[in-house]
Amino acid sequence: MFAIITPGGIYADAVMTDNGCTLIGVPNEYSCAIQLLTPRHLRFTMKEAGAVRRVGDIELLDKNTTKTTHRVTLKDGESFTETTIWERESE
């Protein structure tokens, strides 16, 4: 689930992955697919009217660290890549 609150209102969308890939709260021309590359690495692809807009690789590096790399292709504008590392504090 992702939500943004602005002075003009609220935007929210989500992806349900229990049984494939289902987008929630986005226009009908968007679709998604999930591909399991290894037991610790999956690829999420989002398309707009058949054109790939985002490819996200999500990888569990160890039991406390997840790395995500998103390659974004804009309809108008320059493409970019964003990478994040999520670390859970050890108990």
Average pLDDT over residues 9-29: 74
pLDDT the model gives residue 12:
67
Domain edges within the chain: 2-87
* Residue with the larger pLDDT of the pair 14 and 79: 79
pTM comes to 0.75
Q: What is the pLDDT of residues 20-76, one digit of tens each?
A: 787 777 788 988 888 999 999 999 999 999 999 999 999 999 999 999 999 999 988
Residue pointed to by tokens 């992955």: 17
Using a 10 angstrom Cβ sphere, with 0-12 exposed, 13-18 middle and 19 or more buried, the burial of residue 45 is middle
What is the identity of the amino acid at 52?
V
